């Protein structure tokens, strides 16, 4: 099946089979397997675009990773699943570890049986015959509108997250102490022109921690940063392991009696660090100092339920409902939580 003929959503990660897909031959039958022609360029080009890679292969883990290391490719693959489990089980674990939607995964395998098994379990996953790799780099779902600095660093930022998670899993003290050890610096600033490509990318890619799911294009965002009636805020997070990049965006319209938050989103990569609540608390505090009501557009979906609960726990109340899950929320600003002590907040 031509990979461009179905499922037209953006792909965030490609999950590769190994035998007769990434390389020619079966590793356990002949150790002298060779990479498929053009595979190295495909992987490197997609990595540069910010497309992640993983593996779901029925193979011996030690032999397979040694061969990938020999080819100089092992470092490109996040959360590789090299075992004897069903491919659908491996893909489920990869999806959970990356914390992205099943619909954002593409699975490439030479075996019709394996592709059918995955597609039966997860119809959202795009399954591609490895015979079609010559057109992969031209697949529109793998061509982002912009390739930003954060795109090029995406794999490295995920690898840093793996280090953070390993530290957290081995940490014996209270979670607050662990977060303090990360030495996080959370920066909130007005968006400038250099931020706009990443800002558009965030509206396209972020679905879980997103109030409306609306995609804002570059030209629309450019007009907003020059509007006297709008604030477009971006948030950046760093810690002792490095930068998470720009991971938050908020769009506020300033009206005579109120501030209207038309968009609020945070990257799911940082959802466990509580910075979404910090960003929201900053906006609440600003609105209170300005003497304005704070209204929020929210469109409820299965994907953003966690964010909706965050807003409810932050004292937002529904004051209006509409079609397709739309609710208008308001916070009377009577109770605003204190900023946490485990991070340094920088306001520009």
Query: Which domains does the chain show, CATH number per domain?
Result: 3-142 (3.40.50.1000), 149-347 (3.40.630.30)
Reported as a single tens digit per residue, the pLDDT across 129-173 is 999 999 999 999 999 988 999 999 999 999 999 999 898 899 999
Question: Which of 26-30, 105-109, 336-340 is most confident?
Answer: 105-109
Q: What's this model's pTM, rounded to 2 decimal places?
A: 0.83
Residue 64: is it exposed, middle or buried by C-beta count within 10 angstroms (0-12/13-18/19+)? buried
Reported as a single tens digit per residue, the pLDDT across 312-339 is 989 999 999 999 999 999 999 999 999 9
Is the model's pLDDT at 54 over the cut of 90? yes
- Determine the pLDDT at residue 3: 37
More confident residue, 148 or 252: 252
Q: At what angle do helices 112-121 and 87-98 cross, to 10 degrees?
A: 50
DSSP E strands in the chain: the ranges are 13-16, 23-24, 34-35, 52-58, 81-83, 105-109, 126-129, 184-190, 209-210, 230-239, 242-254, 258-266, 293-299, 316-321, 326-331, 343-347
Which of the four pLDDT bands, split at 50, 70 and 90, describes residue 104? very high
- Determine the pLDDT at residue 207: 84
């Amino acid at each position: 099946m031509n990979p461009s003929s179905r499922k037209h959503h953006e792909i965030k990660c490609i999950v590769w089979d190994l035998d007769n897909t990434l390389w020619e031959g079966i590793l356990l039958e002949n150790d002298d397997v060779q990479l498929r022609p053009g595979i190295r360029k495909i992987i490197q080009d997609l990595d540069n675009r910010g497309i992640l890679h993983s593996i779901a292969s029925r193979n011996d883990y030690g032999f397979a990773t040694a061969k990938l290391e020999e080819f100089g490719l092992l470092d490109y693959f996040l959360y590789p699943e090299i075992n004897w489990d069903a491919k659908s089980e491996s893909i489920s674990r990869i999806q959970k570890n990356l914390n992205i939607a099943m619909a954002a995964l593409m699975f490439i395998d030479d075996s019709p049986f394996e592709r059918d098994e995955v597609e039966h379990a997860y119809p959202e996953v795009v399954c591609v015959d490895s015979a079609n790799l010559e057109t992969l780099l031209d697949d529109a779902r793998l061509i982002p509108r912009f390739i930003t600095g954060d795109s090029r660093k995406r794999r490295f930022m995920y690898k840093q997250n793996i280090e953070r998670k390993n530290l957290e899993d081995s940490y014996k003290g209270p979670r607050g102490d662990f977060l303090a050890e990360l030495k996080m610096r959370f920066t909130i600033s007005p968006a400038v022109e250099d931020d706009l490509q990443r800002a558009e990318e965030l509206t396209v890619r972020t679905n879980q921690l997103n109030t409306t799911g609306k995609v804002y294009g570059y030209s629309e965002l450019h007009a907003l940063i020059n509007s006297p009636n709008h604030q477009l805020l971006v948030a950046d997070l760093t810690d002792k392991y490095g930068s998470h990049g720009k991971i938050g965006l908020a769009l506020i319209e300033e009206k005579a009696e109120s501030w209207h938050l038309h968009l609020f989103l945070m990257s799911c990569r940082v959802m466990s660090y509580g910075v979404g609540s910090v960003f929201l608390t900053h906006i609440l505090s600003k609105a209170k100092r300005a003497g304005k009501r704070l209204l929020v557009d929210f469109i409820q979906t299965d994907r953003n339920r966690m964010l909706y609960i965050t807003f409810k726990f932050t004292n937002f109340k529904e004051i209006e409902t509409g079609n397709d899950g739309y609710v208008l929320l308001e916070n009377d600003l009577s109770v605003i939580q204190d900023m946490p002590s485990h991070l340094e907040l920088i306001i520009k």
